[in-house]
């Protein structure tokens, strides 16, 4: 079973790239962030033709998340929950569904803008509420009362200096602050494992590059998109990598997809 996450920065603009990517990479689950679409405009018909069933939650202009499930392997997303029941939020950043025996959580963490800002405070509270909610899920899953958990998405957190192209420049900055990093490792404390770091990886592997300053050409990026599996799934993780290819296309998203593979 293969799962992936991709911040597409407008599914309207990127739909052709998503369809092409799925044709070349027929993953079982694809989590999307920043769809930036009203629900009535979500391209469920085009995705269904491509063999994918979708659960989605959008709004105009900003945010928006979706879980795509390959119909012939994992069927239709079930028990869909939009948002975090423990956090009142007008922004569509979170959607969960049971797919292929897994509880898949697709998350678009707040950006936070600048450390100490109001948006930063919202980011921390949003993450705290997610840790609180998923913590209970992990405990229930550990007792066999819930399906095992996979958390995929744009975390807007670079967990370690090796996830940053220029750690000195970014030290203490948004995505790299101690507050944000500590929260990333609170997910780890729940028993979740960063699939990417289960394997030897080449240095300077990033999932986002600024559109400006020729960020991609210079590989001036951050690794802020992640796939985490709970403790029961960790032994099944076979691979995890970042696919830089779509970032090379004309009119790319500024994020690249991350893919993980689970064995039986």
Which chain residues interact with DNA by CB under 7 A? 7, 9-10, 12-13, 34, 36, 38, 60-62, 110-111, 113, 119, 154, 156, 174-175, 208, 210-213, 222, 224, 251, 254-255
Cβ nearer to DNA, comparing 7 with 96: 7
Name the minimum Å distance from CB 256 to DNA.
12
Name the minimum Å distance from CB 263 to DNA.
31
Pairing mode, strands 237-242 and 258-262? antiparallel
Cβ nearer to DNA, comparing 70 with 255: 255
| Residue 183 DSSP class | H
Residues recognised as catalytic: 108, 154
CA-wise closest residue to 94 among 70, 121, 64: 64
Structure tokens that stand for 96 in this block: 């969960």
Name the minimum Å distance from CB 194 to DNA.
18
Name the minimum Å distance from CB 32 to DNA.
12
Compute how many other C-beta atoms are within 10 angstroms of the C-beta atom of residue 82. 16
Cβ nearer to DNA, comparing 9 with 96: 9
Contacts of 2 (CB under 8 A, 6+ apart): 25, 27, 28, 29, 259, 260, 261, 262
Alpha-carbon gap, residue 186 to 199, rounded angstroms: 21
Alpha-carbon gap, residue 127 to 155, rounded angstroms: 9
Name the minimum Å distance from CB 202 to DNA.
20
CA distance from start to end of the chain: 8
Cβ nearer to DNA, comparing 18 with 74: 18
CA-wise closest residue to 186 among 154, 228, 223, 239: 228
Cβ nearer to DNA, comparing 129 with 138: 129
């Amino acid at each position: 079973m293969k799962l992936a996450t991709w911040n597409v920065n407008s599914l309207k603009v990127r739909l052709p790239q998503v369809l092409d990517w799925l044709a070349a990479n027929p993953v079982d689950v694809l989590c999307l962030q920043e769809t930036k679409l009203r629900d009535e405009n979500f391209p469920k018909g085009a995705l269904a033709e491509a063999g994918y069933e979708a659960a989605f939650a959008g709004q105009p202009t900003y945010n928006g998340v979706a879980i795509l499930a390959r119909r012939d392997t994992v069927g239709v997303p079930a028990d869909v929950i939009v948002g975090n029941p423990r956090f009142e939020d007008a922004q569509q950043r979170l959607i969960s569904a049971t797919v292929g025996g897994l509880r898949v959580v697709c998350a678009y963490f707040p950006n936070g803008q600048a450390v100490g800002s109001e948006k930063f405070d919202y980011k921390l509270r949003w993450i705290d509420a997610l840790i609180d909610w998923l913590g209970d899920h992990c405990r229930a899953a550990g007792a066999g009362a819930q399906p095992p958990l996979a958390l995929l998405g744009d975390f807007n957190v670079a967990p370690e200096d090796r996830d940053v192209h220029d750690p000195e420049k970014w030290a203490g900055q948004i995505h790299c602050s101690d507050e944000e990093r500590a929260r990333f490792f609170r997910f780890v404390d729940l028993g979740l494992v960063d699939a990417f770091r289960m394997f030897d990886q080449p240095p300077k592997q990033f999932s986002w590059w600024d559109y400006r300053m020729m960020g991609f050409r210079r590989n001036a990026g951050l690794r802020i998109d992640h796939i985490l599996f709970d403790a029961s799934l960790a032994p099944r993780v076979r691979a995890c990598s970042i696919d830089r290819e779509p970032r090379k296309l004309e009119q790319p998203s500024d994020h690249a997809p991350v893919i993980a593979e689970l064995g039986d």
